[in-house]
Amino acid sequence: MAALSLLLLSGCQTSDMVAAGAGGDARYRHRELGYSLGAPVSQDAQGSVETWHRVEVERTDIAFRGPRREFVSVVSDCQAEAGRHPDRRASGLLTGVGPRRRIESGVMDGAQGEGWYQVWEASYDEQPVRIKTVTAARDGCVFDWILVSAGNFERADRSFETWRASFEPAAEERR
């Protein structure tokens, strides 16, 4: 997967996600897998809520662009071998990203499953960006969560982590 081109270029693809609600109150449900998640939101310096806008990006389940050049997406893969070695799979998400410097990486465990996270510094169009990926295995599927921020990474990461926390597995998985 060529990460930066995947992350930053919009495509024309019908999404597998169905929306219910609008703006920051929207929830999206995957047609086949049944998982759902909310829309990301952030707050400006005065505490006003800022809405992120949904964008269509090839090979993603769903993607959003934030108010300050942030980008988030999630991709699911339920192939038989998908859940093996999340750290190796995570490194493949950066294929095509030019020179970069790892800031941190490690094992994570949460509601989205067990997996691997990583944060990198890179550049895009001669602008510095930070890229965070979280690869989590859950119930036979792998979810690749991606954040790209050219601005305030800490603010974008808070929105990203809140968005990831909105993940709810399919109803049959909740039992």
Burial readout 12-48 (b: 16 or more C-beta within 10 A, e: otherwise): eeebebeeeeeeeebebbbeebebbbbbbbbeeeeee
Which tokens belong to 12? Answer: 């024309």
| pTM to 2 decimal places | 0.83
CATH number of 3-173: 3.40.1000.10
pLDDT in tens, the chain (175 residues): 334 434 444 343 447 888 887 766 789 999 999 999 999 988 877 888 888 999 999 989 999 999 988 999 999 988 766 556 676 777 677 777 888 889 999 988 765 667 889 999 998 888 899 999 999 888 788 899 999 999 899 999 999 999 999 998 887 644 3
Q: State the DSSP code for 168.
A: B
Which tokens belong to 39? Answer: 């829309």
CB < 8 Å & 24+ apart, contacts of 88-94: 89/116, 89/135, 89/142, 89/144, 90/115, 90/116, 90/117, 90/118, 90/133, 90/135, 90/144, 91/118, 92/1, 93/1, 93/3, 93/133, 93/135, 93/144, 93/146, 94/3, 94/120, 94/131, 94/133
Whether 118 and 101 have beta carbons less than 8 Å apart is answered as no
Q: So where are the chain's domains?
A: 3-173
